Amino acid sequence: MSPDEYCQNKAAQSGSSFYYAFLFLPPERRRAITALYAFCREVDDVVDEVHEESVARMKLVWWRTQVADLYEGRAHHPVMQALAPHVKTFDLPQDELLAIIDGMEMDLDQVRYQSWSELERYCWHAASVVGLLSARIFGQTQTQTSDYAQKLGLAFQLTNIIRDVGDDARRGRIYLPQEDLDRFGVSPHELLDQQHSDRFEALMAFQTERAQELYRQAMRALPAVDRRAQRPGLLMAAIYHALLVEIANDRWHVLEQRISLTPIRKFWLAWKTWVSGGRNLQRKLSR
């Protein structure tokens, strides 16, 4: 199996919405974004699948050495070998790849967040920096597009947090800021015990509006001249935003189940956004 095939399999097996964005790209950009996504999956799996904290930390240290070797021309792991040809082509900074690992390490250091500013910092490492790297691969030409990519990453991550409240609680993690739980009178044990209530719905409506505002800010920041190149990100925005709406329409019953979109619906949203050039979606989500 070649390094590119290894990354392709990693992406396809994940079932992520990101995979649909890859399908419409020209070959070189598709290989680059698939390699980046495979890197993200590898380091994320360290935290999610390695149950011994000390072992997980050692594995993340090992991945830091792999990043260093990549930029010194000594890529060893198949993911890094697949990423190597694209580092210079798309100007992918070493510190941004390391920032992704920092985000994974934050999951080992912290399982509760006191404020939105604390959570926002985590979301930047977990998603916004991936948005910055992706925007370059897609063909960014304007500096303002970085603002779009960062805000969109925050919106994606907060959407994930809203979707995964129940799953995360069962793993001992509560990402919703404590200040927000206090504001709506929801205690952490209610999340751990899957207690759905009107207070919980009000809390989740608040988080959903925060995510909606991040989508609005992202769409307003995207320069028209870069919209066509950034269509892969807009495809993901169409899918993630539809998921957010689906969760809200279901009254945020996320404590006992994981709400998701069908693969057919994801593909339809991706195709429709690609064909329209993302113009309609940007207009819709900007309002």
- List the pLDDT tens digit at each of the 287 positions of the chain: 899 999 999 888 766 777 777 888 999 999 999 999 999 999 999 998 888 999 999 999 999 999 999 999 999 999 999 999 999 999 999 999 999 999 999 999 999 999 999 999 999 999 999 999 999 999 999 999 999 999 999 999 999 999 999 999 999 999 999 999 999 999 999 999 999 999 999 999 999 999 999 999 999 999 999 999 999 999 999 999 999 999 999 999 999 999 999 989 999 999 999 999 889 999 999 98
Residue 275 Rama label (left phi>0; alpha psi -120 to 50; beta): alpha
Q: Which has the closest alpha carbon to 137: 90, 78, 179, 200?
A: 90
Residues 6+ apart with CB under 8 A from 6: 38, 78, 79, 82
pLDDT of residue 27: 93
pLDDT of residue 17: 72
At 53, the amino acid letter reads E
Evaluate whether 242 touches 272 at the Cβ level (below 8 Å).
Answer: no
pLDDT of residue 26: 93
- Residue 126 DSSP class: I
Evaluate whether 96 touches 18 at the Cβ level (below 8 Å).
Answer: no
SS3 121: helix
Cα dihedral across residues 272, 278, 283, 285: positive or negative: positive
